[in-house]
Chains A and B, each alone.
Chain A
């Protein structure tokens, strides 16, 4: 692989990796929101059962 090929591949990889990392971060945030929503649903159910 020539220097030019290496640098060109690196430039494209940087973009793809950044998008991948962004999707992973957003995915983990959505999982946290799902957990919080499940906790809230549980809380509402408990409140209804209590009274």
Chain B
């Protein structure tokens, strides 16, 4: 799909997702209005997992083929994952404040493991920008990105493995624990977030490739 069409589709989906979250999905009997944060918070978290997973997949691609573009794609996906991860933590913190009365709870395995995953990928940038560009940097970054991928299922399953939690479990072995309208809204919100990732990924990648070509051109003209 061309970038303008992707951006237009993503904007439309985002508008629809927000409208459904506020005007279509029923108000939760237990949590009230603040439960609507769920429609952005959970898709943001799932999208950050997708970003990190995609980054790891591209890193694996780099290690197999040694294509420079795979290294760049891995870096851009991880950059997007960190942005979505930061938004997950921010929206989750706001939701925790209204639901639990605290901004953060260190006793929650799900929260702490997501923070560990987020910080692990933040450190990826320290590694990347502390080494001169070249094959050595690409190799180390690819291995690091692959290690991080191990944390994704651990973080995702933490809430299901944990015995003591106050973090709600919406998806369990019996399927989604919500009404049809809530599930539809959630699916549209998830599609909007994935669309946002695809759009921002394509834009950032195009910008980075253009930047690289311009640098190469400058060198040739010297």
Residues of A with Cβ closer than 8 Å to B?
A: 2-5, 7-8, 10-12, 14-15, 18-19, 22, 26, 29-30, 33, 36-37, 40, 43-44, 47
Given the complex, which residues of B lie within 8 Å of A30, measured CB to CB? 207
A14–B92 alpha-carbon span in the complex (Å): 11
Across the interface, which residues of B come within 8 angstroms of A33, CB to CB?
Answer: 207, 210-211, 214
Measured between beta carbons, the chain A residues less than 8 angstroms from B83 are 18, 22
What are 6 A-B interface contacts by the 8 Å CB criterion?
A7-B95, A7-B98, A15-B87, A30-B207, A33-B207, A47-B221
| B108 interface residue per 8 A CB criterion | no
Cβ of B32 < 8 Å from any Cβ of A?
A: yes
Given A26-B203, A26-B207, A40-B221, check contact A14 B94 (CB 8 Å).
yes
Q: Judge whether B214 and A7 touch: CB under 8 Å.
A: no
Instruction: Classify chain B's interface size.
Output: 20 to 34
Q: Is B119 interfacial (CB 8 A cutoff)?
A: no
CB atoms of B210 and A11 under 8 A apart = no
Contact with A along B40-72 (1 / 0, CB 8 A): 110010000000000000000000000000000
Q: Is the CB of A37 within 8 A of B214?
A: yes
A37 to chain B, nearest CB (A): 6
**Complex Cα–Cα for A41 and B180 (A):** 57
| Contact between chains at A11 and B94 (CB < 8 Å) | yes
Taking a contact as CB atoms under 8 Å apart, the answer to whether B34 and A4 are in contact is yes
Q: Which residues of B contact A8 (CB under 8 A)?
A: 33-34, 36-37, 98
CB within 8 Å of A: which B151-206 residues: 196, 200, 203-204
Q: Please indicate the chain B residues that have their CB under 8 angstroms from the CB of A15 in the complex.
A: 40, 44, 87, 91
Q: Report how far A8 CA is from B31 CA in the complex, Å.
A: 11
Cα separation A30 to B36 with both chains bound (whole Å): 35
